[in-house]
């Protein structure tokens, strides 16, 4: 059976070192060789997340970025985990349908993986992207997803790359400021209360999306009272994207340190990948937070802190 493996950027750095210089990095090279062989035998699939792509695009030294891109494209085959919104939409729709006894077609295997690298940020549609990609271009990418991903990461327009990084960092800074304000408000509260407060905030933020999803299923939902308090509370626990976000955020905010932009990216990757992957290799901090919340047991996901353990 093929397993889904998620590697955070530190794990990819190790593999890229093994690719660059097997004399200086023999252990990394041996691990890289093992991973490639395991992928070729179809024992594992290693999709990237938006976090991986962004971290690679941030590398300012062209030859280092190209080396990382080559390793990531080769091992992932150009595949990515779909974005949070698509994963939430599918799991939320299935959950509401099940709770309301509405027949719904079962999702195909690996529905959460795309061979279009840009769908790690959002499923493609002309309305969502603001422009139309021709069918010929889409077909070209799908013929060789790994090459398309490599070309984007290694040879993207430099001015566009720098502007994208700048805009992302600016947006992250605004979000971090809001997070720090909220941290101050709930700093002295219990974990249980902070979890309830964060759950309420998530429902408020996603209420329009939840109601719209229900209406697509034929339900006449227009307010939170139509959903019902019991179902609202269970959504936070039973829908993986919601549950992982809440469990990790309240624990991350409880730490006595400033939350960074890197934390936001790791959080986003965990929300999408952890419930869907069989194995996650990531930094100790987020692995420890996930273990504290027993997310590995809930989703039957093996958590590791080193690529060498893989």
Range in 60-69, 85-94, 174-183 the model is least confident about = 174-183
Q: What is the pLDDT of residue 40?
A: 96
Q: Assess whether pLDDT exceeds 90 at residue 73.
A: yes
Q: Name the more confident of 100 and 176.
A: 100
- Residue range 23-45, pLDDT digits in tens: 999 999 999 999 999 999 999 99
Confidence of residue 6 (pLDDT cuts 50, 70, 90): very high
Domain ranges of the chain: 3-309
Q: What is the pLDDT of residue 249?
A: 92
Cα–Cα distance between 45 and 81 in angstroms, integer? 11
Q: What is the pLDDT of residue 256?
A: 80
Cα–Cα distance between 229 and 307 in angstroms, integer? 43
Cα–Cα–Cα angle for 4, 36, 60, nearest 5°?
A: 90
Are 224 and 207 within 8 A, CB to CB?
yes
Q: Classify the C-alpha dihedral 140-141-146-150 as positive or negative.
A: positive
- Average pLDDT, whole number, for the chain? 94
pLDDT > 90: percent of the chain: 84
Range in 100-109, 181-190, 192-201, 266-275 the model is least confident about = 181-190
Range in 102-111, 184-193, 270-279 the model is least confident about = 184-193
Mean pLDDT of 223-245: 95
Q: What is the pLDDT of residue 146?
A: 97
Q: What is the pLDDT of residue 187?
A: 79
- Residue range 134-190, pLDDT digits in tens: 999 999 999 999 999 999 999 988 999 999 999 999 999 998 888 888 888 887 889
pTM of the model: 0.93
Cα–Cα distance between 266 and 253 in angstroms, integer? 14
Confidence of residue 258 (pLDDT cuts 50, 70, 90): confident
Cα–Cα distance between 265 and 257 in angstroms, integer? 17
């Amino acid at each position: 059976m093929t397993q889904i493996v998620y590697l955070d950027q530190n794990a990819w750095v190790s593999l890229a070192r093994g690719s660059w210089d097997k004399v200086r990095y023999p252990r990394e090279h041996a691990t890289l060789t093992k991973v490639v062989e395991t992928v070729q035998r179809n024992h594992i699939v290693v999709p990237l997340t938006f976090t991986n792509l962004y971290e690679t695009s941030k590398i300012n030294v062209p030859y280092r970025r190209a080396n990382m891109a080559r390793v990531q494209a080769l091992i992932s085959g150009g595949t990515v985990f779909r974005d949070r919104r698509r994963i939430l939409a599918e799991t939320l729709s299935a959950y509401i349908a099940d709770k309301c006894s509405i027949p719904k077609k079962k999702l195909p295997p690996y529905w959460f993986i795309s061979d279009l690298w840009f769908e790690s940020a959002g499923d493609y549609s002309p309305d969502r992207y603001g422009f139309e990609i021709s069918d010929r271009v889409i077909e070209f990418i799908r013929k060789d997803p790994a090459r398309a991903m490599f070309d984007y990461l290694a040879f993207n327009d430099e001015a566009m790359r720098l502007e994208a990084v700048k805009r992302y960092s600016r947006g992250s800074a605004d979000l971090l400021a809001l997070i720090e304000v909220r941290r101050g408000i709930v700093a002295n509260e219990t974990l249980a209360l902070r979890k309830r407060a964060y759950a309420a905030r998530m429902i408020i933020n996603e209420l329009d999306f939840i109601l719209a999803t229900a209406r697509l299923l034929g339900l006449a939902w227009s307010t939170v009272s139509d959903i019902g308090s019991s179902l609202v509370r269970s959504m936070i626990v039973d829908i993986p994207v919601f549950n992982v976000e809440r469990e990790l955020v309240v624990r991350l905010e409880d730490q006595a340190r400033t939350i960074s932009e890197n934390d936001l990216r790791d959080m986003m990757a965990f929300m999408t990948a952890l419930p869907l992957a069989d194995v996650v290799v990531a930094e100790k901090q987020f692995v420890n937070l996930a273990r504290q919340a027993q997310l590995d047991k809930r989703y039957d996901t093996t958590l590791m802190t080193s690529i060498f353990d893989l």
